[in-house]
Structure 1
Amino acid sequence: MFGSLTKLQRYYLYYTASFLLFIGALAVLEQHGMPPRWIGYAFLFFTISMYAVIGIMSRTSDVSEYYVAGRSVPAFFNGMATGADWMSAASFIGLAGTLYLSGHQGLAYVIGWTGGFVLVALLLAPYLRRFGEYTIPDFLGARYGGNAIRLVAVAAAILASFVYVVAQIYGVGVITSRFVSLQFEIGVFVGLAGILVCSFLGGMRAVTWTQVAQYVILIIAYITPVAILSYNVTGNPVPQLVYGKVLQEVGRLEERLFDTPAEIEVRKLYRERADLYAQKIMQLPHSLSHEREQLSQRINEMKNSDTQMKDIVALEKQRRDMPHDPEQAKARWESAMFSAVDRSKPPIHHAEAFPGDDAEQQLIQRINFLALIFCLTVGTAALPHVLTRYYTTPTVSQARDSVFWSLLFILLLYITAPAYAVFAKYEVLSHLVEIPIAKLPGWVAAWAKVGLVSIEDINGDGILQIAELSMNPDVIVLATPEIAGMPYVVSGLVAAGGLAAALSTADGLLLTITTALSHDVYYRIVRPDASTQLRLVISKSLLLVVAVLAATVAAQKPGTILSMVAWAFSIAGSAFFPALVLGIFWNRATRAGALSGMLVGSLLSIYYILRVEFDSIPWLGISGFNMVPWFHVHSTSAGLFGVLAGFLTIVVVSLFTKPDPQATSFLQGIRCSSDREGRA
């Protein structure tokens, strides 16, 4: 199917043209009365069918093809595949939403993620490609020797990739539940089928060529709505050039809306609600029994009066839904209290660099901004599913070139995300805030059913204030076409793009997990004499098991997409970056040092995430687990401590242990060879 570069270009040009024609046909059908749900189904069926066709045509039983696409992927197309592999649901769905909610602070993601590829190009990609083999644990096992470090690397790769893939499948559930009206949990497993149809049949070969196709869809889907919106608002269809003017208008709207009497009243009411919940928590268990008694008394009074039955039924449901014990009440009321506290705070001005009421709060914002950039930069340079892509190029020089193409293709999305956030906020502030709640557009109710938008008229004036509107950051990109009143075909296109982003990354992550288990554990340690056929059977069987497990976890909605992804970056950076960099550039790094550093770094990051983010771990019977963050650093930047501890541990332990005499010859081989081939 895939011959010369000219053929590849021609194939994907035909593919892009057919996709554009498909969009045009749906737009015409919508004008002639095609229902929105059928448009959603059409996008879902068309895109997954195309991925399935590519996956089936790329099926393989060759180990090299399955694990590293036969090392035959040209740099340009490897850059596209890496872009799709990289631009996950976090980038496509979560990034603009985070910029929408946090303004300047969200730029840490853009800087960190793009900066990481500079480290990949300079420090890692050429040396990993020259080494060859299939996986990052392969490299660490060869550099340091022994199965112990291979097993630690496998465990870290699986954990980081699993957290990351859960975020992708969660994004699939959000998209399918909204645009094809499936229940969230069912949508998760529908998306899972789309993931498996590619990675199961052809491994890295099928995933690579599918990801190129997915990149085409996701970049068209991301740019189209914001270009239309830019043209409608400013008359210029290039949003990156004009969103600065719109940002000024957003600033004027914020000045007018943030301090109106109604807005101040709403924030005060939320502050009072938060105080009430705090008081109830302090008075547990008495407050729980007292509230239950009051509800029972009200129900009895209503039954003895002329109250309508529906009001009585509503109160009885409220009583049934009450917490069953003080621990459950504490967890539920704390969640409600924190939500009320967030709504009581003055909104962040979009262009404000480091918001805060005093110098201390602004310092905390700066610390977290820089810490997040550091973690995302290092995490990018250490993610196994990204680094493995540089094993697939024919030469070391093409590995370097593919990093350039990767960054260029990723840049197209990242320079658009800030514009997306600004235009979306302009639409919300100018066309949604201060309108009667009874006249809210239909998209608000539609996304409320999914659980990503909520409206509460807390002051009872029938008018929507900013604090009364709660929007999950994961909804901004997906809802922007509806917010701006565009044809539904644009919403379907965006959903198809989000699905492509989530599926492409999930494919790469699942392949990383199963390759680590089947190749690095089963083949390298358990059964080195296993046949090629048996290795692939083991890999595909594990793929099914891991995929179903990840979908099951995603169905529980464990957190926002971006927070889960940031945790994965911290874990990967802490486990791999110090061991890889010192392993390549410091001959004195020893097996004991690397093993200790990987364990200390990754375990410290995991410990910090759990202690800061979670108050309890029910399945372990742990409660009251939460701790105050160190130096005010959020859990999303846990890698700051893990990476530094990893570097320090490797250096100290290596200096106190005997050096490996084979390390020098191993490193000279990959350095000199990669330098010669790079110059050639």
Structure 2
Amino acid sequence: MTMNTPMLVTFCVYIFGMILIGLIAYLRTKNFDDYILGGRSLGSVVTALSAGASDMSGWLLMGLPGAIFISGISESWIAIGLTIGAYLNWKLVAGRLRVHTEANHNALTLPDYFTHRFEDSSKLLRIISALVILVFFTIYCASGIVAGARLFESTFGLSYGTALWAGAAATIIYTFIGGFLAVSWTDTVQATLMIFALILTPVIVIIAVGGVSSSMLVIAAKDPQYNDLFKGMDWVAILSLLGWGLGYFGQPHILARFMAADSHRTIRQARRISMTWMVLCLAGTIAVGYFGIAWFANNPGQAGNVSQNGERVFIELAKLLFNPWIAGVLLSAILAAVMSTLSCQLLVSSSAITEDLYKAFLRQGAGQKELVWVGRLMVLLVALIAIAIAANPENRVLGLVSYAWAGFGAAFGPVILISVMWSRMTRNGALAGMLVGAVTVLVWKQYAWLNLYEIIPGFIFASLAIMVVSLLGRKPSPAVEQRFTQAEAEFKTI
């Protein structure tokens, strides 16, 4: 395949634009707080769109449309679960976490928050939570790199190995240079690009097939079960897909956006913006996969690539239905989805190593400049490991994401949710919840009992462990309870 010049130009302009934002953010980064949390200065729009973009990775434009294209509308249960989970996360956790992290020694990372919230002098919570972040985020980063590689492979005819490095390079550069501010600002641009692509593409696909009713007739003629919301679904399958929503409570790259808001008062407006963006994006991605069935049914001669890999449905529709310049913009939306999430994950992983392992145990007196540069080097290290994991061309984006999502959701979700809502929670309760959640996901994944998504038993068992161990142990110290009470009072002030 020859290089498509308009698409290549569009991609290059987009990538250089992101790197330019990284350079601007570099000039604004004065210390380690700026590098990993932006000095807690994000307004409602940036908080909302950055949280959304960091959440919706390559699976939004590849994994989920591919699942819908292959199986039909029944795969949309995952979107329903995610919408409910995201709303509850904004409603129950976002504002509270913002005030609780500040009340607990201005914690910059989740391990730092756990350490101070529960007065963990042993630092076990810090070590275990940092290791959980590194293990599951490295897998998560690999999913983003796979999605980027698929994009460059399909668009420019590169080999998978070359596409792997091409897709990851720009993200690594601007994250390395600009840190949290670069990631948040680029997320805002990327979120705008993603919603544009996910509204325009299905509209043009529907028009090309002859309208909604014509599309649905074509789909029904191909296989009536494509229109069945319950196709191949029993209660376990539906519960598993809805269970994805539980993952939101424990995703460090999303929670970091809440922690970085300029105030908990910003959260309410940010919630409205973010949820509107999310609903429109999910509706668009379902429509791409669903109406893509009709278009390729009418054009079977063009279906070769999507028949081999359903995750390419958005890519192929953009290339086939649009002027190359417009197609380049639309395909940049996939790169935006990949880069926005990957950059957040690299930064959170870097901060876990730098703040929670390097500074906490190796160099407690490290200066701000030293920490920033260690953080940058850790971005490179984690990226290289993720690239090594992603090197297998048989990897599927949604499969890698589901494992990492479950790991964070079960290990951190109950701990975060209960820690900001229950003053009686103890350090041993948090430790038990984290370990039980992580181990349950790892074991359940291997044995696939009941074919139930591992996040559900992991979340339930971790929550029970937190409550039982906390109630059986000694009550938290008066200082811990006082900080909790003050944070809760701050949260309730408007």
TM score, norm. by length of structure 1: 0.68
- 2:115 aligned to 141, 148, 155, which one? 141
- 2:144 aligned to 144, 161, 168, which one? 168
SS across alignment from 1:415? helix
CA contact (8 A) 2:96 2:491 kept: yes
Distance 2:394 2:378 in 1: 23
**1:651 counterpart = 2:488:** no
| 2:282 matched residue in structure 1 | 414
| 1:402 matched residue in structure 2 | 270
| 2:450 matched residue in structure 1 | 631
- 2:480 aligned to 663, 666, 674, which one? 663
Q: Which runs of 4+ in 1 moved over 6 A?
A: none
| 2:240 matched residue in structure 1 | 371
Number of residue pairs the alignment of both structures matches: 483
CA contact (8 A) 1:246 1:422 kept: no
- 1:386 aligned to 247, 254, 277, which one? 254
Shift of 1:631: 2.0
Which segments of 5 or more consecutive residues in structure 2 lack a partner in the other structure? none
Shift of 1:67: 1.5
What is the identity, as a one-letter code, of the residue corresponding to 2:365?
Answer: D
SS across alignment from 1:381? helix
Distance 1:68 1:579 in 2: 21
Correspondences of 1:87-166 after superposition (within 5 Å) = 87-130=56-99, 131-132=101-102, 133-146=107-120, 147-166=123-142
Shift of 1:221: 2.7
SS across alignment from 1:559? coil
SS across alignment from 1:58? helix
Cα-to-partner distance string for 1:207-234 (whole Å, 9 max, x where unaligned):
1111112222222233333222223334
Shift of 1:420: 1.3
CA contact (8 A) 1:128 1:139 kept: no
What is the identity, as a one-letter code, of the residue corresponding to 2:246?
Answer: V
Distance 2:138 2:3 in 1: 34
**1:193 counterpart = 2:169:** yes
**1:516 counterpart = 2:352:** yes
Shift of 1:251: 0.9
**1:70 counterpart = 2:35:** no
Cα 1:560/1:249, change in 2 over 3 Å: same
Shift of 1:525: 3.6
Correspondences of 1:311-322 after superposition (within 5 Å) = none
SS across alignment from 1:149? helix
Cα-to-partner distance string for 1:527-566 (whole Å, 9 max, x where unaligned):
3221001111111111111111111211113631112111
| 1:231 matched residue in structure 2 | 207
What root-mean-square deviation, in Å, do the aligned CA atoms of Structure 1 and Structure 2 show?
Answer: 1.9
Cα 1:388/1:558, change in 2 over 3 Å: farther
- 1:183 aligned to 151, 155, 159, which one? 159
| 2:4 matched residue in structure 1 | 37
* Structure with greater helix share of residues: 2
CA contact (8 A) 2:54 2:344 kept: yes
Distance 1:647 1:564 in 2: 25
**1:425 counterpart = 2:425:** no
Cα 1:643/1:489, change in 2 over 3 Å: same
Distance 2:154 2:218 in 1: 31
Shift of 1:504: 0.9
Cα-to-partner distance string for 1:551-600 (whole Å, 9 max, x where unaligned):
12111136311121111111011111111122222222211121012111
Shift of 1:245: 5.9
Distance 1:585 1:562 in 2: 32
CA contact (8 A) 2:202 2:287 kept: yes
| 2:409 matched residue in structure 1 | 573
Cα 1:192/1:418, change in 2 over 3 Å: closer
Q: If you compute each CA radius of gyration, which structure gives the higher value, 1 or 2?
A: 1
CA contact (8 A) 1:179 1:492 kept: no
Correspondences of 1:582-601 after superposition (within 5 Å) = 582-601=418-437
Cα-to-partner distance string for 1:343-381 (whole Å, 9 max, x where unaligned):
xxxxxx21123334xxxxx5xx3212112212x111122
CA contact (8 A) 2:36 2:351 kept: yes
Shift of 1:124: 1.1
Which segments of 5 or more consecutive residues in structure 1 lack a partner in the other structure? 1-34, 236-242, 256-348, 357-361, 433-439, 448-452, 454-469, 613-628
Shift of 1:604: 1.3
CA contact (8 A) 1:588 1:654 kept: yes
Pick which of 150-159 and 49-58 moved more: 150-159
Shift of 1:39: 2.2
Cα 1:144/1:350, change in 2 over 3 Å: same
Shift of 1:666: 2.1
CA contact (8 A) 1:125 1:400 kept: no
**1:672 counterpart = 2:485:** no
Cα 1:670/1:557, change in 2 over 3 Å: farther
What is the identity, as a one-letter code, of the residue corresponding to 2:318?
Answer: P
CA contact (8 A) 1:424 1:476 kept: yes
Shift of 1:89: 0.1
Cα 1:244/1:605, change in 2 over 3 Å: farther
Distance 2:427 2:451 in 1: 34
TM score, norm. by length of structure 2: 0.93
Distance 2:365 2:150 in 1: 44
What is the identity, as a one-letter code, of the residue corresponding to 2:315?
Answer: L
CA contact (8 A) 1:574 1:642 kept: yes
What is the identity, as a one-letter code, of the residue corresponding to 2:457?
Answer: F
Shift of 1:36: 5.6
Shift of 1:244: 6.2
